[in-house]
Amino acid sequence: MPMKHSTYSVIIVGSGIAGLYAAIKLSETMNLPDGILLLTKSQLAECNSRYAQGGIVGVLPENKPDSISLHVADTIKAGCGLCDFNVVKFISENSCHAIKDLMKYGVNFDRNEQNQLNFTLEGAHSVRRILHVGGDATGYGIEKALVEKVKNDPVISSNITIYEQTLAIDLLVDSKNKCRGIISFNDLTQEYETIYAPVTILATGGTGQVYKYTTNPSVTTGDGLALGLRANAKIKDMEFIQFHPTALSIENDDSRFLISESVRGEGARLVNQNGDYFMSEHPQKDLAPRDVVAREIFAQLSKANKVYLDATFIDIEKFKTRFPNIYNKCLENNIDVTKDFIPVSPAAHYCMGGIKTEINGKTSIDNLYAIGEVACTSLHGANRLASNSLLECVVCAYELVNTLVKQQLLPSQIIDESIMTTIKKYSNEENEQAEINNVSELMDKLKTVMWDKVGIIRTESSLLEAMSEINKIASEFGAVDKCSNIEEYELRNLIYVSKCIINSALERKESIGAHFRADSVKIQVENELHTEDKIHESTVTA
Ligand code: FAD
Ligand code: SIN
C-alpha cells in the first residue's frame, strides 16, 4: 500500500513550551498557505514542560536587586565557563519581553498581596528572580495557557493542524543536506506518513528516560536527538547531564517526583539520618550549584547514609500555598512535612547538550531547526542554572519565528535519491522486523547500565563497560530501520542517545560541571572545546 503523504508550510515536532510557543507565534505573524502541523507523540499537554515546578527566570526592571549582568554572571558561573557569553546575554536581555508575552497569552504568575510579582530563589542564583505559577505548578500553568491558545483561539488555531499520538521517526534530508520534512508513525492506526515542508522544527525535549531514575515523564526518550544523529546533524556537549539533587525517594518505587529546589530556596535544609547538615561548609550551602549538591548527596548515599530535606521549620500555611503539589505528594506517601523529613536522592533531570544550534534554532542541516531542551545553544555550558530552560524555550522560539518571517517558505516536495531511500525503509513491508518480545526488558537493562556506569560519577572503565553493554543490547534488539510499535522506536532512540552520551563522556577526560570523571586529575575551569563532531561519528557508526 503506498504511504500517505501531505504538505505543510511548517512542521513542529513536540508540544512542550518550545513547540507550542513557536506554533502560536508563527500562526500570529506569518501567512502560511499550507499551514502549520503540530505533531506530538502523546497528548498535546504531555511533556517535560508540564511538570516544571520552580519557575522561569525573569530579569525584570521592577526587581531592583537584579540586573542582566548579575544573571549573566550567575549563568556562566553555574555553567563553569562553558556557556556562550553572547547567547547568555541575549537570552537574559530578552527575558523581560518573554515574561510579558506569556502574560499576554494568559499565564498568571503568582503575586503578593500588593499585586507585585513574587520572585523566588533557587540554587546558584545570587538574587530572587524566579517567577512561578500556582506555587509549584509553573510548567502546568504555562502549558495550559499555551494549549488553550493553540486549540481554541479562533485566529491562532485556524492555521494549526494537530496530530496527537504521532511519532516523528525519521527526517527527510536530501543529498544537498536540506531537510524536506519527516516520516511519522501514528501509534493508534499504525500508519506511516510522509510529511513534506520547507521548514521542520524539532521541539522534542530531553533525554531523561535514558536513566533508571529520572524526574522526566515517559515521553522523554531523546527522540529528537536520535533523529538528528540519524540525519548527521551536529551534536554538542552530550556528556553534560544534569542530575537534580532532590527527587522524592520512596522504597520500592523507582519513580522520582521532583522536590523543587525552591523548597531549599525557601529555607529547607539537607541532612542525613544522623541530622548532620552536610552542606553547611559550602559557601552557598544548600543552594550550591546542582552538580555540587548532587555529588554531595551521592557521597552520603554511597556511605550507606540516607538523605532528607528538613522543611519542618517552614511555616505550614506558607508551604501549602507555595508548594501545594509537593505537599500533597508527600501526604500521599505518609510524609507530614511539618514533622517528617522528606527522603530524597538525585535523579536525571536535564540534558545540557543536544543538537548544535544558533540562538534561532538553526542547525547544521538546512531548513531544520531545533529549539528547547533538544537543542544546544550553549546557554547552559556544563551545568544549567535553575529555571533558565523554560526561558530559553520561549526566547529561542521567538527568535526562530523572527528568522522565518524574513524568508519565503515555498512548497517542498523535492524527492531525490536520498529521500527516496528513507521513504522506502518505511513503505516496504519486507523491511519490517518481527515484533520483539523483550523490548521493556532491554529498556530496563539500558537504563540500569546508564545509571550505574554513566551517572553522577564516571570513569573510563565504567564508560567502556557501559558501551559494551549497550552494544549487546543493540545487537539483541537488532532493528535499525522499520520497527513494529512506538516502544521499539523509543528503544531504538534510547540506544542512539546512550551511545552518544557515552562517547561524549569518554572524549572529555577532565571533570567539569555535571560531568564528573573520578579518574581525572584535572578539573577544567576555563572555556575550552565543546565535544562535537568526533562523538557524532563514533555514535552513528558504533
Ligand atoms: P518538552 O516540554 O519536553 O516537550 C517535548 C515534546 O515533544 C512533548 O510534547 C513530547 O511528547 C514531544 N515529542 C518527543 N519526541 C517526539 C517524537 N518523536 N515525535 C513527536 N513528538 C515528540 N525548567 C525550568 O526552567 N524551570 C523549572 O522549574 C523546571 N522544572 C522542571 C521540573 C521537572 C519535573 C522536569 C522534568 C523538568 C523541569 N525543568 C524546568 C526543565 C524544563 O521543564 C524543560 O527543559 C523544558 O520544559 C523543555 O521544554 P521543551 O518544549 O523543549 O520540551
Ligand atoms: C526545580 O524546581 O527544582 C526545577 C527547576 C529547574 O529544573 O529549572
Q: Give the model confidence (pLDDT) of 385-428 as tens digits.
A: 999 999 999 999 999 999 999 988 877 667 899 999 999 999 87
Closest CA to 307 of 271, 334, 282, 254: 271
Mean of pLDDT values over 467-484: 90
Distance, C-alpha 372 to centroid of its chain: 7
252 is a domain residue: yes
Say if residues 359 and 89 touch (Cβ distance below 8 Å). no
> Phi and psi of 235, rounded to 5°?
-120, 150
What does DSSP say about strands 4-7 and 192-196: parallel, antiparallel, or unpaired?
A: parallel
pLDDT tens-place string over residues 74-92 = 999 999 999 999 999 999 9
Average pLDDT, the chain: 94
In the prediction, which pLDDT does 13 show?
A: 98
Q: What is the largest CA-CA distance in the chain?
A: 67
From ligand 2's centre to the CA of 538, what distance in Å?
32
Beta bridge partners of 80: none
Gyration radius (Cα) of the chain, Å: 22
Q: Does the active-site annotation cover 508?
A: no
Q: How far apart are CA 227 and CA 202, in angstroms?
A: 9
Confidence check: pLDDT of 532 > 70? no
What does DSSP say about strands 10-13 and 36-39: parallel, antiparallel, or unpaired?
A: parallel
Ligand found nearest the CA of 162: 1
In the prediction, which pLDDT does 1 show?
A: 62
pLDDT tens-place string over residues 326-335 = 999 999 999 9
245 is a domain residue: yes
Mean of pLDDT values over 430-448: 86
What is the domain-level CATH number for residue 340? 3.90.700.10
Q: Total structural domains in the chain? A: 1
Confidence check: pLDDT of 322 > 80? yes
Confidence check: pLDDT of 537 > 60? no
From ligand 1's centre to the CA of 146, what distance in Å?
14
Q: Percent of the chain, pLDDT > 70?
A: 94
Q: How far apart are CA 358 and CA 362, in angstroms?
A: 5
Pocket residue to mutate for ligand 1, from 47, 92, 110, most atoms within 8 A of Cβ: 47
Q: Which residue has the cell 569518554?
A: 506
Alpha-carbon distances of 449 from 243, 335, 467, 488, 502, rounded to whole Å: 16, 31, 9, 18, 11
Return the C-alpha cell found at 380: 547552559
277 is a domain residue: yes
pLDDT tens-place string over residues 94-129 = 999 999 999 999 999 999 999 999 999 999 999 999
265 is a domain residue: yes
Least confident of 54-63, 202-211, 480-489: 480-489
Mean of pLDDT values over 133-154: 98
431 is a domain residue: no
By residue range, what is the domain housing residue 295?
241-349
Spell out which residues line ligand 1, taking CB within 6 angstroms: 13-19, 39-42, 46-49, 51-56, 138-139, 167-168, 203-206, 215-216, 219-220, 223-224, 258, 350, 372-373, 387-390, 393
What does DSSP say about strands 241-248 and 56-57: parallel, antiparallel, or unpaired?
A: unpaired
Confidence check: pLDDT of 471 > 80? yes
310 is a domain residue: yes
Q: Which atom of ligand 2 is nearest to the CA of 123?
A: 3
From ligand 1's centre to the CA of 207, what distance in Å?
9
Q: How far apart are CA 5 and CA 333, in angstroms?
A: 49
From ligand 1's centre to the CA of 374, what distance in Å?
9
Helix axes 460-477, 439-453, angle to 10 degrees: 170
Catalytic-role residue among 129, 230, 290, 384: 290
256 is a domain residue: yes
Q: Which residue has the cell 523535492?
A: 414
Spell out which residues line ligand 2, taking CB within 6 angstroms: 53-54, 258, 260-262, 386-387, 389
Q: Which atom of ligand 2 is nearest to the CA of 242?
A: 7
Q: Percent of the chain, pLDDT > 90?
A: 90
What does DSSP say about strands 375-376 and 354-356: parallel, antiparallel, or unpaired?
A: parallel
Q: How far apart are CA 304 and CA 270, in angstroms?
A: 16
Confidence check: pLDDT of 279 > 60? yes
Pocket residue to mutate for ligand 2, from 74, 246, 256, 261, most atoms within 8 A of Cβ: 261
In the prediction, which pLDDT does 541 show?
A: 40
Confidence check: pLDDT of 444 > 70? yes
Residue whose CA is closest, atom 7 of ligand 2?
386
Mean of pLDDT values over 40-58: 97
pLDDT tens-place string over residues 352-365 = 999 999 999 999 99
From ligand 2's centre to the CA of 234, what distance in Å?
28
Say if residues 236 and 530 touch (Cβ distance below 8 Å). yes
Residue whose CA is closest, atom 24 of ligand 1?
387
From ligand 2's centre to the CA of 259, what distance in Å?
9
In the prediction, which pLDDT does 2 show?
A: 75
Confidence check: pLDDT of 533 > 50? no
332 is a domain residue: yes
